[in-house]
Structure 1
Amino acid sequence: MINQLKQRLVRYAPRTLDNGGPQASVLIALTDKSGDPEVILTRRCDHLSTHSGEIAFPGGKRDDTDPDLLFTALREAEEEVGLKPENVQIIGPLGDVLSKHKLQVRPYVGIIPEGVELIPNLDELDRIHRVPLSFFLDDRRHHTDKILFRGMTHYVPAYEFEGDIIWGLTAYMLVELLNVGFDARIPMKVRPEHSIC
């Protein structure tokens, strides 16, 4: 599975944004577990001012001192879950997306060792989920969200795993990963920020 993903992403030309606004990046980390890799997701603490209680990939806003967005994703992953950059084999980016707070987000896909220890930064996270990729490929969705964004209606799958709902931008990025890397054929409209580029 991982080899297929690598081959697909090497040839993939993701959509990029450059709207001059604030930037962020996330790390979509998959373990190198043979047969059924796991996707690393986090649950943000309830006390946070934005996205509290939500399921997300490790990541965050680009600092002025970050040389690029890949550095941001790796720095944030180390800060949030203790994942050392040397334990991540970056395959490549997926398409940029725009958050509801007008933050331009670039997801990077990386492979990490199956047995690597991940420790949540309890100032930011309640827990870490290791979700089998097959859970998403089987499309075991909890429901489908109807999201109105920039005058367009989007239908985005939402998944429930161990009592938490994976939805919104995180689910959208997951679907792109599944469709591009594994031919999941989950229907998804082009996001409006790309339709006006």
Structure 2
Amino acid sequence: MSLNIEQLEQRLRRHPKPRQDHGPAKRQAAVALPLLEGRRGPELAMIQRARRVGDPWSGHMGFPGGRRDAGDASELACAIRETREEIGVDLEACAKLLCELSDVDTGWRKDRPELLVSPFVFRLAVLPELTLNHEVDAVVQIPLAFFLDKGNRVPHHWEWRGTRLSSDSYLYRGHRIWGLSLRMIDELLEAAQR
């Protein structure tokens, strides 16, 4: 697939958020998936979370976002606020909302409270100057073409409570992308190819 950012925007604007039933209300969170035109075509901006004791996603690659506060009017408002707080980007001022992807349920682990994450895809003309807060170590722009190349998808193995687990992942310049972020990226790519 070879799409420019305008073609990608058109396809994503047509992507309907799938209806889902996640059962009883869970704690809510939201993230922003910023897309922009890079030197090699459309790119996705991801964050590398800061390494912090007690943070289950310490050092992981993800998207700017977090838990919904009582003051957030919606999950969208949460994604916008968290992006401004974490990387200093005001999505309301410099981006267009393209679509909302499927909610991602983090409740696969019984020792953690369940959290429902709403992902929102935005188009930025350019990535403005960033101001990273204490939760973020870096912002990495990754070409969508990298994710579309199935040869770049590699196994990832880790231990959890004495059990060896495996999943798919991408490894981009030393940054491992897997888990919840990979599920969001997979849906984004599927929508982009329709």
Q: TM-score, normalised by structure 1?
A: 0.80
Higher mean Cα deviation, 92-101 or 29-38?
29-38
In the other structure, the counterpart of 1:117 is: 129
Superposition deviation, residue 115 in structure 1 = 4.6
Kindly indicate whether residue 107 of structure 2 is the aligned counterpart of residue 104 of structure 1.
Answer: no
Report the counterpart of residue 41 of structure 1 in structure 2.
46
8 A Cα contact 2:169 2:177, kept in partner: yes
Give me the identity figure in percent.
33
For these two proteins, the number of residue pairs brought into alignment is 176
**What CA distance in whole angstroms lies between the structure 2 residues aligned with 1:116 and 1:90?**
16
How large is the RMSD of aligned CA atoms in angstroms?
A: 2.3
Where does residue 29 of structure 2 map in the other structure?
Answer: 24
Q: 1:79 to 1:140 in 2, by over 3 A?
A: farther
Match of 2:95 in 1: 88
Deviations, residues 25-78 of structure 1 (Å, cap 9, x unaligned)? 110101134761221111111115221111101111100110011111011111
User: Quick one: which amino acid aligns to residue 122 of structure 2?
Assistant: G
2:76 is the counterpart of 1:70: yes
The equivalent of 2:7 in structure 1 is 4
Q: Distance in 2 between matches of 1:74 and 1:48?
A: 26
Do the aligned partners of 1:140 and 1:159 also contact (CA within 8 Å) in 2?
Answer: no
- Taking a change above 3 Å as real, the CA distance of residues 146 and 29 of structure 1, as seen in their structure-2 partners, is same
Per the normalisation by structure 2, the TM-score is 0.81
Residue by residue, what CA displacement relative to the aligned partner does 1:61-97 show, whole Å, maximum 9, x if unpaired? 1001100111110111111111012111111101111
Q: 1:131 aligns with which of 127, 142, 145?
A: 142
Q: Quick one: distance in 2 between partners of 1:133 and 1:7?
A: 16
Closer, same or farther in 2 for the Cα pair 1:141/1:89, shift >3 Å? same
Q: Is this contact kept in 1: 2:17–2:99, CA < 8 A?
A: no
Q: Which one of 40, 65, 68 corresponds to residue 59 of structure 1?
A: 65
